[in-house]
Amino acid sequence: MDLGLFDFPRYQVFVLAVSVAVCVAVWLLLTRTRIGTIVRAATERPELTEAFGIDTGRWVTPVFGFGVGLAALSGVLAAPMRAVNSSMGADLIITVFAVVVIGGLGSVFGSVLAGFAIGMLQALGSLHVPVLSQTSVFLLMAVVLLIRPAGLFGKEEHA
């Protein structure tokens, strides 16, 4: 598929479009619905949420199941581009951890933005300085944590 300066395989463009759509849908679910309000409240302040009469224990299984469903969707989308095996995402788990830390715990927007930034950093790094492409992610994480310990978009907790 010709996208101006670059040619991309149609499937990769499809995966990008589906990924953006899923990210927007999850963001809308978490920020604009009653379910999202309950999930965010139960995640950040479970005791206070229970004080309002919401059984947070009842929400654990469905939210976990939703996360598993998102992971399954990503595996299905990645399968045609990668070798399918039982440890398919093991090489990505450390990078995903760095994405969440850099973006800020609890910030969906921060994680998405950090994911795109780290993807660009790794792509440019592997093109220009292949030896440092993986290390650059952790250098970036160290710099962000030194400047903003809660991550770029994370909220600092006050004692």
pLDDT digits (tens, 9 = 90+) for 8-67: 899 999 999 999 999 899 989 999 999 999 998 998 889 999 999 999 999 999 999 999
Rounded to two decimals, the pTM is 0.74
The DSSP-derived string for 70-139 is HHHHHHHHHTTTS---TTTTTTTHHHHHHHHHHH-TT-HHHHHHHHHHHHHHHHHHHHH-GGGHHHHHHH
pLDDT digits (tens, 9 = 90+) for 64-90: 999 999 999 998 999 998 888 888 777
